[in-house]
């Protein structure tokens, strides 16, 4: 019996409520409204189309059936019973676990508590999971802010607070964030080149609130370093070694630049070619062999990454990958609307998978915002559309960086916040990154100092809109064991 036939039988054996649970658990992966998925077959087809489920990779199905405690179906239909156990986010697992613990009476009490938050029509004939989805839709809960959820669980079933506390502790353990202080909006130094318009910029949560919530949990993972502070302090530490940079060429840099999303519902990323050109100039100047791939499907993105890892050379000093695209929680979009998890982009370069780069830095830069909804256009000073944009559809950085050593992940913005892209000048983040590399590498600055300066520069920019000024803060995260100091080139830096 082929794999599709076995999937059909599994789907037929699932109850409707179990199918809804699977759809909920996969909602981050699917990148679509869960209500659009009508059946188990529909779900499996969507997962297969996005390369998340196949006979060679049944791990997602194994994990899903394990979560809903239907692993017997694996045995009944001759499917493997072991596989990866971290494909579904801990946040989704938490909400599902809470829904299973709450009784029908508990749900009635929760609906009563939500009368002043949600329309009555949204509370009629809905399940607990559907209530959670509506709270997410209204930005009342998220994986970075469960305060409101705690407030409604506490009077209804306080024993479940322990589950939330455990999640918060685990989440803070692996969550890599940047502490920052926004400049006073009246400070003229804060004004960027984006001018008034009225996009509805969603900010579901506050990084400083998250810092406060996480402060009560001890960080037991010392190998993951947390970068703090705006400004550009001297982060060099006496006794910290520097990665060797002695090769004739630094290594290869793959730039994946997704601009045109014609076959999907995502918008064209105006201005991204400016970013590509800046990266190409600066990285070639630094000694990288640059490969540019444009408008890649999700499958092509994965294939390019695998090929880069397989063809890596022992005489490279490092490897770099820059992804310019739309994104969603935990991944980035291909132009076909399919997604690739950021962790999956990085894992092929671990010491086990890529021994030729063991002990050498693996550097990733991701340009995409980390909000959870599409945003409108932001107009430039010229007042014409098509020049300034919110770089929408976002990436959640939680647990994106592998636990292996020698990785650096640079994200355009912190979770729940937008990233700005200008159709004429490119994105705030990539342009600042390129300019600071050009300015600071000749002065002998290490890469973390440079990224701290990028934080400082980008944080001072402001997009003025009717509902107020909006800012951006990049997010570096790393498991480096040494400093990265690129040798100063013999030629003047390129003009950007």
The Cα 168–Cα 336 span in angstroms is 34
The Cα 262–Cα 238 span in angstroms is 52
The Cα 398–Cα 283 span in angstroms is 28
Q: What are phi and psi of 292, to 5 degrees?
A: -115, 130
The Cα 189–Cα 183 span in angstroms is 9
Within 13 Å and on the Cβ side, how many CA atoms surround 242?
Answer: 16
The Cα 43–Cα 49 span in angstroms is 10
Question: 3-state SS string over 217-232?
Answer: CCCCCCCCECCECCCC
**Can you list the positions of beta strands (E) in 242-351?**
251-257, 288-294, 319-324, 327-328, 331-333, 339-341
Contact 390, 201 (CB under 8 A): yes
Catalytically annotated residue among 59, 326, 404, 469: 326
The Cα 360–Cα 244 span in angstroms is 8
Helix (H) or strand (E) holding 468: strand 468-470
**Can you list the positions of beta strands (E) in 325-452?**
327-328, 331-333, 339-341, 362-367, 388-390, 407-411, 420-422, 426-427
475-478: strand order across its sheet: 288-294, 251-257, 319-324, 362-367, 407-411, 475-478
* Residue 404: active-site member: no
Within 13 Å and on the Cβ side, how many CA atoms surround 166?
Answer: 11
* Residue 172: active-site member: no
Q: SS3 of 78, please?
A: coil
Contact 87, 50 (CB under 8 A): no
Task: Quote the radius of gyration of the chain (alpha carbons, Å).
Answer: 23
Q: SS3 of 316, please?
A: coil
CB count within 10 Å of CB 490 equals 5
CB count within 10 Å of CB 204 equals 19
The Cα 100–Cα 17 span in angstroms is 11
Helix (H) or strand (E) holding 476: strand 475-478
H helices within 176-270, ranges in order?
Answer: 207-214
Catalytically annotated residue among 369, 400, 434, 445: 369
Catalytic residue numbers? Answer: 326, 369
């Amino acid at each position: 019996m082929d794999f599709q036939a076995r999937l059909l039988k599994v789907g037929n054996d699932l109850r409707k409520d179990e199918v809804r649970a699977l759809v909920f658990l996969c909602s981050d992966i699917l990148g679509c409204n869960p209500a659009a998925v009508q059946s188990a077959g529909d779900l499996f087809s969507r997962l297969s189309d996005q390369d998340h489920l196949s006979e060679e990779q049944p791990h997602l199905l194994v994990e899903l059936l394990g979560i809903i405690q239907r692993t017997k179906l694996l045995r009944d239909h001759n499917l493997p019973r072991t596989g990866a156990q971290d494909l579904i986010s801990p946040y989704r697992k938490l909400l599902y676990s809470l829904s299973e613990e709450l009784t029908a009476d508990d749900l009635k009490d929760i609906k009563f508590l939500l009368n002043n938050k949600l329309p009555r029509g949204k509370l009629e004939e809905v399940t607990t999971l559907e209530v959670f989805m509506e709270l997410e839709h209204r930005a009342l809960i998220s994986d970075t802010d469960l305060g409101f959820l705690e407030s409604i669980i506490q009077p209804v079933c306080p024993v479940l607070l322990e589950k939330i506390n455990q999640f918060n502790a685990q989440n803070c353990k692996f969550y890599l964030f940047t502490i920052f202080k926004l400049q006073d909006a009246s400070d003229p130094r804060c004004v960027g080149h984006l001018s008034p318009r009225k996009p509805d910029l969603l900010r579901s949560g506050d990084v400083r609130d998250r810092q406060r919530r996480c402060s009560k949990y001890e960080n037991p993972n010392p190998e993951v370093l947390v970068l703090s502070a705006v400004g550009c302090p001297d982060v060099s530490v006496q006794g910290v070694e520097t990665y060797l940079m002695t090769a004739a060429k630094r290594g290869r840099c793959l730039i994946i630049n997704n601009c045109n999303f014609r076959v999907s519902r995502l918008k064209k990323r105006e201005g991204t070619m400016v970013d590509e050109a800046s990266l190409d100039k600066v990285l070639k100047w630094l000694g990288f062999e640059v490969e540019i791939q444009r408008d890649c499907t999700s499958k092509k993105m994965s294939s390019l990454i695998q090929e880069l890892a397989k063809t890596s050379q022992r005489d490279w000093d490092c490897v770099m990958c820059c992804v310019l695209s739309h994104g969603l929680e935990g991944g980035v979009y291909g132009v076909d609307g399919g997604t690739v998890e950021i962790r999956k982009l990085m894992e092929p370069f671990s010491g086990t998978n890529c021994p030729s780069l063991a002990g050498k830095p693996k550097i990733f830069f991701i340009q995409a915002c980390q909000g959870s909804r599409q945003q409108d256009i932001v107009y430039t000073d010229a007042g014409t559309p098509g020049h300034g944009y919110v770089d929408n559809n976002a990436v959640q950085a939680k647990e994106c960086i592998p636990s292996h050593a020698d990785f650096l992940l640079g994200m355009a913005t912190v979770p729940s916040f937008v990233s700005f892209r200008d159709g004429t000048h490119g994105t705030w983040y990539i342009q600042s990154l390129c300019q600071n590399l050009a300015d600071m590498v000749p002065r002998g600055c290490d890469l973390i100092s440079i990224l701290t300066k990028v934080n400082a520069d980008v944080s001072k920019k402001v997009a003025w809109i009717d509902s107020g000024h909006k800012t951006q803060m990049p997010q570096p995260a790393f498991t480096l064991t040494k400093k990265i100091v690129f040798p100063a080139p013999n030629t003047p830096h390129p003009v950007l």
